[in-house]
Structure 1
Amino acid sequence: MEFIIDTIDLEEIKDAIEHMPIVGVTSNPSIVKNTHPQKFYDHMREIRNIIGQDRSLHIQVTAKKAEDMVKEAHKIHEEIDDAVYIKVPVSYEGLKAIKMLKKEGCPITATAIYDEMQAMMALAAGADYLAPYVNRIGNLGNDPYQLIANVSTRIDHDQYPTKIVAASFKGVQQIRDALDAGAQAVTAPVAILKQIFKNPSIDKAVDDFNADWYSMYGEGNSLLEVE
């Protein structure tokens, strides 16, 4: 199980990796627009410095033609490093680009997946991650969790090394449901992941424990002060 964050905000990334078991950072043009760095590659290199080589970094191409996607992938690797996962939308041209890049050994995140057969095509083409859009699929009246379950079954049956990284969330329940359906990873905004801990019962439990402790040893006498 992997938790990845949708952001390129440097302070948000620092905060998230300090507090949560975050294993990667994903971006796309819309995520980039939210932060709007003046120098894109300098900014992405700084993200790599923050997260290190042990966490994954996913950057999306913007071209629509396969050959141009490949050129953009090469540029990303030249400017940052060849460990960056290239996010490629699973369009007809995108699938061609995935095949071309996998021949070069490029790590690929197949994104903008709305349909099970899209996912199956990207799986067969060798994508390392498949990113179905959970909330958007649901908004179209389809079942994203059945898609995830079916593709997960295929991955297990055929022993693919590919992982499903479910994306496009509006709430914690969607994340839970995606993991329960068989997604090996999720990528979500930091604000949504923080909602997990905004439960008044958690705060009450901590306050109750502290009240019991201080009633015995005096206010302010923590484990550091008592004998």
Structure 2
Amino acid sequence: MELIIDTVDLSEIKEAVEYMPIVGVTSNPSIVKKTNPKDFFEHMRTIREIIGKDRSLHIQVISKDCDSMVKEAHRILEEIDRQVYIKVPVSYEGIKAIKMLKEENIHVTATAVYDLMQGYMALAAGADYIAPYVNRIGNLGADPMELIYELSNRIIMDNYDTKIVAASFKGVEQIKNALNNGAQAITAPVGILKQIFKNPNIEKAVDDFNADWYSMYGEGKGICDL
């Protein structure tokens, strides 16, 4: 199971990496727009410095034709490093680009997946990660969990070395369901992941434990004070 954050906000990334077991960072043009860095490549290099080489960094191309996608992928790798996962939408041109990039042994994350057959195409093309858009699929009246479940089964049955990185979430319940239905990874905004710890029962449990402790050893006297 991999927990990845969907942001390019440097302060968010620093905090998330410090506090949570985060293994990567994803981005897309809309995510980048929220932060609006003046120097895109310098900003991405700074993210790499923060997360290190052991965590994955996923950066999306913006062109719609295959040749331009591949050129953009090469530029991204030149400006940052060869470990970057190039995010490519699974369009007709995109699937061709994925094939070409995998022939060069470039890491690829197939994104903008709304349909199971898109996922199968990306799987057959050799994508390293496949990103179904959970909330968006649901908004269109389809079942994203069924897609994840079927795609996960196909990965297992055919022994593909590919991971599902579920994306597009509006709440913690969607994340939990995606993981329980076979997604090997999720990418979500930091704010949604922090909601996991907003349960008031957690704070109450800690307060009750502390009250019992202090009743024995004195108010404000912690373990290190014994």
Q: TM-score, normalised by structure 1?
A: 0.99
| Matching residue of 1:115 | 115
Which residues of 2 match residues 141-156 of structure 1 at below 5 A?
Answer: 141-156=141-156
Which residues of 2 match residues 91-130 of structure 1 at below 5 A?
Answer: 91-130=91-130
- Give the Å deviation of 1:107: 0.2
Identical-pair percentage: 73
For the residues of structure 1 that align with 2:5 and 2:154, how far apart are their CA atoms?
26
| Matching residue of 1:168 | 168
The answer to whether residue 58 in structure 2 is matched with residue 19 in structure 1 is no
| Matching residue of 1:61 | 61
- Give the Å deviation of 1:215: 1.1
- Give the Å deviation of 1:210: 0.7
| Matching residue of 1:36 | 36
Name the SS of the counterpart of 1:224 in structure 2.
Answer: helix
Q: Deviation per CA, 1:112-164, whole angstroms, max 9, x where unpaired?
A: 00000000000000000000000000000000000000000000000000000
| Matching residue of 2:194 | 194
Name segments (4+ residues, structure 1) moved above 6 Å.
none
Name the SS of the counterpart of 1:196 in structure 2.
Answer: helix
Name the SS of the counterpart of 1:111 in structure 2.
Answer: strand
- Give the Å deviation of 1:218: 1.2
- What letter matches 2:56 in structure 1? S
- Give the Å deviation of 1:217: 1.1
**RMSD (CA atoms):** 0.4
For the residues of structure 2 that align with 1:73 and 1:219, how far apart are their CA atoms?
59
| Matching residue of 2:133 | 133
Name the SS of the counterpart of 1:5 in structure 2.
Answer: strand
For the residues of structure 2 that align with 1:163 and 1:177, how far apart are their CA atoms?
16
- What letter matches 2:51 in structure 1? I
| Matching residue of 2:81 | 81
For the residues of structure 2 that align with 1:220 and 1:75, how far apart are their CA atoms?
57
- Give the Å deviation of 1:87: 0.2
- Give the Å deviation of 1:195: 0.4
For the residues of structure 2 that align with 1:96 and 1:208, how far apart are their CA atoms?
59
Q: Deviation per CA, 1:163-193, whole angstroms, max 9, x where unpaired?
A: 0000000000000110111000000000000
Name the SS of the counterpart of 1:13 in structure 2.
Answer: helix
- Give the Å deviation of 1:74: 0.3
Q: Deviation per CA, 1:85-123, whole angstroms, max 9, x where unpaired?
A: 000000000001000100000000000000000000000
For the residues of structure 2 that align with 1:164 and 1:118, how far apart are their CA atoms?
13
For the residues of structure 2 that align with 1:43 and 1:59, how far apart are their CA atoms?
12
For the residues of structure 2 that align with 1:8 and 1:217, how far apart are their CA atoms?
46
| Matching residue of 2:182 | 182
Structure 2: where are the runs of 5+ without partners? none
Q: TM-score, normalised by structure 2?
A: 0.99
